[in-house]
Amino acid sequence: MIQQEIKKSVGQPLDRVEGRAKVTGTARYPSEFPLDNLAHAVVVQSTIANGRIRTIDTSAAEAATGVLAILTYRNAPRLHPADNLRGLATPPVPPLQDEHVYYHGQHVALVIAETLEQATFAATLVSIDYEEKEALLSLDDERAQAFGSTDPDDVRGDPDAALATADVRIDSTYTTPTQHHNPMALFATTANWDGKELTLYDTTQGVGNVRAAVAGVLGLELSQVRVIAPYIGGAFGSGLRVWPHVVIAAMATQHIGRPVKLVLAREHMYTAIGYRPQTVQRVALGATREGQIVATIHEALEPTSMVDNYQEGPTQATALMYASPNLRLKDQQKRLNVSVPTWMRGPGEAQGLFALEMAMDELAYALKCDPIALRLRNIPQVHPVSGLPWSSHGLRECYERGAEQFGWERRTLEPRSMRDGKYLVGWGVASSYFPYIRLFAQARVRILSDGDAQVKISSTDLGTGTYTIMTQIAADALGLAPERVHCELGDSSLPDSPASGGSALAASVGSAVHAAATKALTQVLALISDDAASPLQGATSNDVIVSDGRIELKHDPAKGETYAAILQRHNMQQIEALGEAASGDEMKQFGTAVFGAKFVEVRIDPDLGSIQIARVLSVVDAGRILNEKTARSQMIGGAVGGIGMALLEETLMETETGRIVNANLADYVVPVHADIPPIDVLFVGEPDTKLNPIGSKGIGEISLIGMAPAIGNAIYHATGRRVRDLPITMDKLL
């Protein structure tokens, strides 16, 4: 094995390698690619939640200045079933195929014009007469029937009997509302069909998924579709699905024979790119007087669309979070006339652990026990579902190190017992968990004749730092300075790698980059193994070390030469290697997970009920931290999202019409600087090389998970009032 130089860039707080491009405006987003003869498109959305289009009159719109075409179900091309999506839920019904309407805000027409302004005006001239039917819009509607099996999803022991006989028990219901992603940039697709190849510049977290889906529905060969997304302005899970507007843009460019840009308006995004679905959850816990959990019941109800089978699964984490010999889990859904939900940062676990961790706090108070002590007492020694040993389990260290840094020993147990002047002070904690995921990935690494290197992968960078960490991994594997490594991402023509989601990218693609770089380095060594002109002739991989772009003998560093010298002497422009990586037997050998803990201090005005987050500490064990600066940024960003989830964010819908009434950033409240306190981050644990060569697990999701219950628990400690319904607002404390 070739040894890399001891000084490594992995783990260091390297500045983002794409930072200059972003701040100077040279980084191009999907709506910014200049194409000749570009037309603009605007969607028309339904104004009913259930029914059919009786008539649609486009004559006035067609006569408007600049209008090139209007697509409706009457003239749109017939699409093929989208049955080739990789790893995604059932795709929505292909757009513009018939007159049926399933939710308010469904795309029912597309106006294409010379300019955006012309298309926007003409869209207002499309007249639609609907045959409206009564819609199902509430989980409380008795007509909305639960579907799927009524059997529990997971059962251990006899939870009902154990709960009934437990020394101490709690049984509560918790609710979380519909919440929307609201990325900074509007979702956009620029489509260009040249008669042979379709190119899409798309706001997506997975160019491969878009390529496969669009090729499938349009009846094209995979080789005829290319998807490009080098930069996107946020997504948080909303870019993981292939949404109808992407297919519509592709249809539009084929229809008019010109490139078409389709940018969703902010209000369109509330029904067009998914959301975090609401949940109603019951959690019942039983324990001995010593605080040992003996029974756990977690049941959840959530909505899904009439045209999709997406399931959030809020109870999944409960199966392994704490040791419980008697357990029952059940996730249930009801179909409503709502748009399609989707993954949003920390999907399932964000809502599920809100309920479980609030319940754990309630149990701690029923036991008159410290909330951290209760959790530590019930950490499972092995994976509770598989019985396998953990590859690593850092929850105890997260709590012990976090409690020390937060000063937890100064906390008094009783609610309303801590004050700062007139303000009630509360300290709360909650556990964080997200599954470890590793997917198949490819990466290509090239060593060039000037000694620089290139890394090419098709995955996108959401702004999480993928460009930077992949540069660091390749730099260390090749023994190069990071500035000599150039990373290219976000193009489906590059080696196949997974979508950027599920906190899986670092472990998946990072392992592939490491494999490709190692293979390229081995090829260089093979090139000089019998080269009489090389001072390294005959050296094996065990004999050499790479440092600063130079291969040299371990025992005699003076003997060596650079990549550039080797390639130039052999008249080679480059050496290239394709690396692959995927999960192996480690998932069968170990229980896997990413764990963390959140600590929060709140201050509450007892007269007004106003809530101020005073400080936050996020602690996580995610294996090797590949870049301390970008990782810390992820943890801070997730904490901000968790504050929004806990205190501010709620999508409001008219229960009579299905219309979202706060579909804008004026009325949908998100955190701003004034809402955010100092946020500290603490990384614990060691690289988990049992799971992948780079020892990393991923932090994107777990950065948010646990914030909402930690805040809710802190509010209870401050006020003695248990609010089980998000968001926790002033009126609920008065």
Catalytic residues: 701
Could you please report the per-residue DSSP string of 9-30?
A: -TBS-PPPTTHHHHHHT-SPPG
Helix or strand run (H / E) with residue 199: strand 198-202
* Rounded CA separation 79/214 (Å): 10
Cβ-based burial of 674 (10 A; exposed 0-12, middle 13-18, buried ≥19): exposed
Tokens 């704490």, located at residue: 322
Q: Pull the structure tokens for residue 105.
A: 């805000």
Show the tokens assigned to 408: 């937890």
> Which residue, among 706, 686, 695, 687, has the nearest Cα to 638 in the 3D structure?
706
Would you call 463 helix, strand, or coil by DSSP? coil
Cis peptide before 314 (omega within 30 of 0): no
Distance CA 279, CA 358 (A): 15
CA–CA dist 229, 200 (Å, integer): 9
62: which strand partners? none
Spatial separation of the C-alpha atoms in residues 307 and 323, rounded to whole Å: 38
Dump the DSSP string for 525-574.
Answer: HHHHTT-TTSTTTT--GGGEEEETTEEEESS-TTSEEEHHHHHHHTT-SE
Q: What b/e string do you get for 375-390 counting C-beta neighbours within 10 Å, with b at 16 or more? A: bebbbbeebbeeeeeb
544 has which bridge partners? 553
d(Cα 707, Cα 693) in Å, to the nearest integer? 31
Q: Whole-angstrom Cα distance, residue 103 to residue 36?
A: 36
Total number of residues shown for the chain = 734
- CA 477/CA 685 separation, integer angstroms: 23
Query: Distance between CA 626 and CA 528 in Å, rounded?
Result: 32
In this structure, are residues 649 and 676 in contact, taking their beta carbons and an 8 Å threshold?
A: no
User: What is the C-alpha separation between 549 and 452, in angstroms, rounded?
Assistant: 8
Is residue 343 within 8 A of residue 501, CB to CB? The reply is yes
- Distance, CA of 728 to CA of 647 (rounded, Å): 5
Return the SS3 of 410. helix
Contact 592, 437 (CB under 8 A): no
Alpha carbons 308 and 90: distance in angstroms, whole number: 6
